[in-house]
Amino acid sequence: MPLSLIEGALGGIGLFLLGMRLMSDGIRTVADSRIRRIFSLFTSNRLYSLLFGIAMSMAVNSGSAAVVFTIGLVNGGVLNAFQAMSVLGGVLIGASLTLHLHIIPYSLIATPLVFSGVLLKFFARRRRLANAGDLLLGVGLLFLGLTLLEGSYRPIDHHPFYEVFKGIFYRMTVMSALFGSIVSFLVQSAPSSIAIIVSLMLNHQINDTISVAMVAGGLVGVAFMGNLASLGGNYISRRVATVFLSLSVIVSLLFVVLSPLLVEADLPGLTTIVGMNGPDLFTRLSWLHTAVSLVAALFAVVLSGPVSRMLATMNGASHASGTDSAQPCASYLDLRIINTPTIAIEQARKEILRMMNVTSFMYADVREILFEFDARRAETIRQHEKVLDSLNHEITSYLALLSRSTKNPEISYEIPGLLQTVSILEHIGDRCEEVLECIITRKQAGAIFSDAAMEDLRTLVTVTGDALSAMEDVVRNGQPMEAEALHKIKNAARNRFEGVKQAHYERISSGVCPPQAMMLFNEMESAIVAIAEMCWSILGMRVRRVE
């Protein structure tokens, strides 16, 4: 294969992955409660979700890009599983409609989006506009990567990529379906994929059954982009992408198995190719692609309810293991139940428990990265901090609204304590992020801590981790701690903190600790001790309530 083709493919894939990551982060930071409400309105039922997917796919003129957008919206907490399945079904239909309608190619809007994104990202003074710049830059790079990919595998006579696999993929239906999925994945455009198959049919005299298999297999290539986009995402986005890919594989295999019968039935798009020219073949295969997409979309819409319920059941277990901790929006809060205070307060408690889980996993990541740096874990910590900020805003607003609408004295008495708990959990996340920044600064500056200093840090994080675990147990189980037991825990922990602080002063006095390392250690110690103090504050609220 010529070097230029390899360069185009690698460059396209690289830009696509970079754009996909920036777009996903941009969606997560830009999507506030108002944007979520707008998307909720557009996808309030199966029909609206289907139409939204069709419109989005036709707007970007690429089924693969629309699938990536949809998974990004799920990962950003804008869409749930029920909405996403129907939207993905609409994406398939919209991608097939681009075969029959002339749409503006995404290559024309790629560079303006990149330019606009760069302007906002580097020159906007407001943080919200800078985040929007990340989103636009990600979309532009994604489109630019798709343009390079499409150009590298565009149908040309005797393309090296197609010649290599001639003997394997052009004679067996199942292998031809696999080839069709590979082409669809590389080209990322339904018109280009069909044009490639037409070119192969004219140059290699591929029979009707093989062509059906290639067109049906292209559905898998589009769906696979969802799995690629879900890497590093939350639990729901990964499961939705997996279900959508499985559904696409089943539909593709169904058409592969039935391809001989479909050919014999002389259906439109499946008649013999003898004597046909390129435009006629393109039109017939386009209708076949539309039929495959409609069947897959029908399955996706029908199964959206069962899939969402299944994922909700599985997600209940995932909360305990933290697999869904990156979901950046409230899962249980619903304004429609605000007039039923007993249910509303229970949903708020569930959301606070989820917020506490996020805080625990964030601290666990900080504890690990303190002794073994991992860039991916650092990014996870930052994502958790964004989740805590979002949950803090949503839960606080919800509880404030509940306090104004309820006349139940017990609920009114409980709300201030819940608000304080939410605020403390968000502050714990802030302190964890401060420790992370110190760790990154230390790594970049090359500051070295002595073995004694690292052992002191281990003591600090262990004692604070015990305080966090005790707080989590009390809040989760609803069993308050005795005042005397809490007093003993605090005294023992503070004695150990004082011992660490005294040892640090001795290292400073002896000249073992250089100034930069001294300042970083002080900042880490202050942040870690502050986390323990905040955990004791939550425990103290529970003790005071019993007394």
* Span 240-273, pLDDT tens digits: 888 999 998 998 888 888 777 665 555 444 444 4
Q: Give every CB contact of residue 34 below 8 A, 6+ residues apart in sequence.
A: none
Burial letters 98-129, b for 16+ CB under 10 A, else e: bbeeebebbbebbeebbebbeebbeeeeeeee
Select the highest-mean-pLDDT range: 5-9, 92-96, 132-136, 323-327. Answer: 92-96
- Could you tell me the sign of the dihedral formed by the alpha carbons of 527, 528, 531, 532, in that order? negative
Given a cut of 50, is residue 321 above it in pLDDT?
no
- Check: CB of residue 294 under 8 Å from CB of residue 93: yes
How far, in Å, CA of 482 to CA of 479, rounded? 10
For residue 274, name the pLDDT band (cuts at 50, 70, 90).
very low
Give all domains of the chain, ordered by start, each with its CATH number.
3-313 (no CATH), 330-546 (1.20.58.220)
**Both tokens of residue 132?**
């929007």
Select the highest-mean-pLDDT range: 136-145, 226-235, 494-503. Answer: 494-503
Q: What confidence score (pLDDT) does residue 547 get?
A: 41
Q: What confidence score (pLDDT) does residue 232 get?
A: 65
Q: What confidence score (pLDDT) does residue 463 get?
A: 92
Q: Exposed/middle/buried for 142, CB within 10 Å: 0-12, 13-18, 19+?
A: buried
Lowest mean pLDDT among 393-397, 422-426, 497-501: 393-397
* Span 11-42, pLDDT tens digits: 777 777 777 777 777 776 676 666 767 777 78
Cα–Cα–Cα angle for 174, 177, 180, rounded to 5 degrees:
155
For residue 428, name the pLDDT band (cuts at 50, 70, 90).
very high
Select the highest-mean-pLDDT range: 65-69, 154-158, 262-266, 270-274. Answer: 65-69
- Check: CB of residue 334 under 8 Å from CB of residue 347: yes
Q: Which amino acid is at 393?
A: H
Could you please report the per-residue DSSP string of 460-479? HHHHHHHHHHHHHHHHHH--
**Both tokens of residue 47?**
């029909």
For tokens 């825990």, the residue is 489
Cα-Cα-Cα-Cα torsion 293, 295, 298, 304, nearest 10 degrees, comes to -80
Q: What confidence score (pLDDT) does residue 271 get?
A: 47
Q: What confidence score (pLDDT) does residue 105 get?
A: 67
Q: What confidence score (pLDDT) does residue 534 get?
A: 92
- Check: CB of residue 384 under 8 Å from CB of residue 425: no
Given a cut of 60, is residue 391 above it in pLDDT?
yes
**Both tokens of residue 124?**
């906007």
Mean pLDDT across the stretch 65-93? 84
What distances in angstroms separate CA 488 from CA 347, 460, 475, 480, 532, one per listed residue? 34, 17, 19, 15, 14
For tokens 């040892």, the residue is 503
- Check: CB of residue 81 under 8 Å from CB of residue 121: no
How far, in Å, CA of 170 to CA of 217, rounded? 13
* Span 194-221, pLDDT tens digits: 777 777 777 666 677 777 888 888 888 8
Q: Which amino acid is at 34?
A: R
For tokens 């005790």, the residue is 470
Q: For 277-320, give the secondary structure using H, E and C.
A: CHHHHHHHHHHHHHHHHHHHHHHHHHCHHHHHHHHHHHHHHHHH
Q: What confidence score (pLDDT) does residue 529 get?
A: 92
As a whole number, the mean pLDDT across the chain is 79
Nearest to 130 by CA among 117, 147, 113: 117
Given a cut of 80, is residue 280 above it in pLDDT?
no
Nearest to 228 by CA among 217, 242, 214: 242
Helices (H), 124-189: 127-152, 160-164, 166-169, 173-187
> Quick check: pTM over 0.75?
no
How far, in Å, CA of 388 to CA of 354, rounded? 10
Task: Note the residue count of the chain.
Answer: 547
Burial letters 145-175, b for 16+ CB under 10 A, else e: bbbbbbbbbebeeebeebeeeeeebbeebeb
Given a cut of 90, is residue 531 above it in pLDDT?
yes
How far, in Å, CA of 293 to CA of 251, rounded? 9
For residue 435, name the pLDDT band (cuts at 50, 70, 90).
very high
* Span 460-508, pLDDT tens digits: 999 999 999 888 888 887 777 788 888 888 899 999 999 988 988 888 8
